[in-house]
Structure 1
Amino acid sequence: MPKMITEQHERKIAQMIRHWPIEHALDWNAVCIGAQGILAWDNPPTRQALDKKILIKVAYKTKKEHLKLEKQKLKGIPRPRSTLDAMKKITRLQAENDALRAELAKMAEIANRLIYNSTIAGLSRERLMAPLPTLSERGERPGTARQ
């Protein structure tokens, strides 16, 4: 009896291709070897057998294009000259990230305090969240500011 690739097998193989890790090269040989486990066959299926299945073929082409775009994005990022340079940059970015998180926390605290105090003073949340008026609504001309 000939070996058959069912629709369920097709979906599982396409799923495997869609979740292919970026670190590993995607080629038909690797897909055939991965499909062997899904199909539970003694030998891997041929590239031609998998390529005949539209779902698998489309998943392969789509993932290949996605990986190509990812590589192009990475080419645009400057590489550090050494591991030490990379470590310095990571440390600098972590410190900057921590500073921004602290600043964001302070801003959130101020916003909560303003909302709380204005609610106590009788302003509704809707009134507080109303958009700012435009210059024409305030009766001002561009370039002149209220003192």
Structure 2
Amino acid sequence: MSRAITDKDVRQMVEMVRAWPKNEPFKWESICEGARGILGYKPTRQALDKKPALAYAYEVKKENLRSEADKLSKVTRPRTTLEAMEKIATLQEENDQLRAEVARMAEIANRFIYNGSLHGLTRAKLMAPLPNKKNPHS
């Protein structure tokens, strides 16, 4: 026998939708089947679609899956395994370099904030926006 769907149930189902495996079909029927583990029975699509948080999570996930598929369709496919391995190695090297740059920038920012606070500058003053280039005295 079906029971009322609680807010806690909805939160669990929203998390289920957000974490939906990419290799599983993403459709309402599958979500209803997945909800069986949370509710103890298989709800109808209409019952789940009436829950705004769940309907919104479904739409967001569906859009993410579509945009991901669009991005993948635009990626040029390597002709050989060697070409793919070289591309991966290049991207990993670039990623490592960018991570190192971000770490250095974070260290510099922390140093500026620390030294600025030692000399009486508040965080608000340190984080003030840069002046307008057209009128630097505004």
Alignment gaps of 5+ in structure 2: 109-114, 117-138
1:5 — aligned with what? 5
TM-score normalised to structure 2 length: 0.60
What amino acid sits opposite 1:3 in the alignment?
R
The structure that has the greater radius of gyration is 1
Report SS of the residue matched to 2:21: coil
* Structure 1 position 21 matched with structure 2 position 11: no
C-alpha separation between the residues in 1 aligned to 2:2 and 2:82?
58
What amino acid sits opposite 1:32 in the alignment?
C
Larger deviation, residues 27-36 vs 13-22: 13-22
2:111 — aligned with what? none
Change beyond 3 A, Cα 1:2–1:34: closer
2:45 — aligned with what? 47
Displacement, 1:19? 2.2
CA-atom RMSD in angstroms: 3.3
* Structure 1 position 72 matched with structure 2 position 63: no
Change beyond 3 A, Cα 1:6–1:89: same
C-alpha separation between the residues in 1 aligned to 2:22 and 2:43?
23
Displacement, 1:4? 1.9
| 1:74-128 deviation per Cα after TM superposition (whole angstroms, max 9, x unaligned) | 2221111232321232234445666x47x96xxx6xxx9xxxxxxxxxxxx66xx
Count of aligned residue pairs for this structure pair: 110
| Sequence identity percentage | 45
What amino acid sits opposite 1:78 in the alignment?
T
Change beyond 3 A, Cα 1:36–1:84: same
Report SS of the residue matched to 1:26: coil
What amino acid sits opposite 2:31 in the alignment?
V
What amino acid sits opposite 1:33 in the alignment?
E
Displacement, 1:12? 1.1
Change beyond 3 A, Cα 1:53–1:72: same
Displacement, 1:33? 1.5
1:91 — aligned with what? 89
Report SS of the residue matched to 2:47: helix
C-alpha separation between the residues in 2 aligned to 1:29 and 1:49?
12
TM-score normalised to structure 1 length: 0.57
